Amino acid sequence: MEEMTAESVRELQQRVLAHEPISEEELRRAIAYLRKSRNAAPKEKAPPKEKKSKTQDVDLLSLIEDLREA
C-alpha cells in the first residue's frame, strides 16, 4: 500500500472540492498519514532506548530500597 504525503492529501482535497468520488481506502490512507505525521518532529527527538532501560533500573533499585526500609 503506497503511503500518502502532505501533497497527496492536498490532491485528495482538490478531488473532494471537485466532487469526485473518494474511496474508503484512500480516506484510510490519508488518516494513517495524518496520524503518523502529526508529531513527527518530537518523535525524532525522543530519548534513545538505552536511557529508558536505565530509568527502569533506577526505578527497580528504588523499589528494593523502599522494600528494605519497609
Partner 1 sequence: MALIQDKFRHPFPAAVDSTMLHAFRSCPQQFYMSYVRKIRAGGTNTHFVCGGAFAKGLEIARTQYANTTAVGVPAILAAEKAVEVGLLALLKAYGDHVPGEKNKNKDMVNTARAYISYFDKWPLHSDYISVASFQGKPAVEFTFVLDTPIRHPESGMPIIYAGRLDWVGEYNGLYIVMDEKTTRYFKSEWASDWVLRAQFTGYVYACQQYGIPVTGYGIRGTALKMTEIEHQEAIITIPPWRLQRWWLQTARDIQRMVDCWKQDYFDFNLGDACTSYNGCPFTQLCKVEDPEPWIPAGDFEDNTWSPLQKEVEV
**Cβ-contact 65, 59 below 8 angstroms:** no
| Minimum CB distance to partner 1, residue 47 (Å) | 16
Q: 527497580: which residue's cell?
A: 60
Q: Should residue 31 be labelled a site residue for partner 1 when binding is judged by CB under 8 A?
A: yes
Residue 4 sits at the vertex; the CA angle it makes with 42 and 35, to the nearest 5 degrees, is 40
Of residues 3, 20, 41, 58, which one binds partner 1 by CB under 8 A?
A: 41
Q: How many residues bind partner 1 (CB under 8 A)?
A: 21
Kindly tell me which of 45 and 68 has the beta carbon lying closer to partner 1: 45
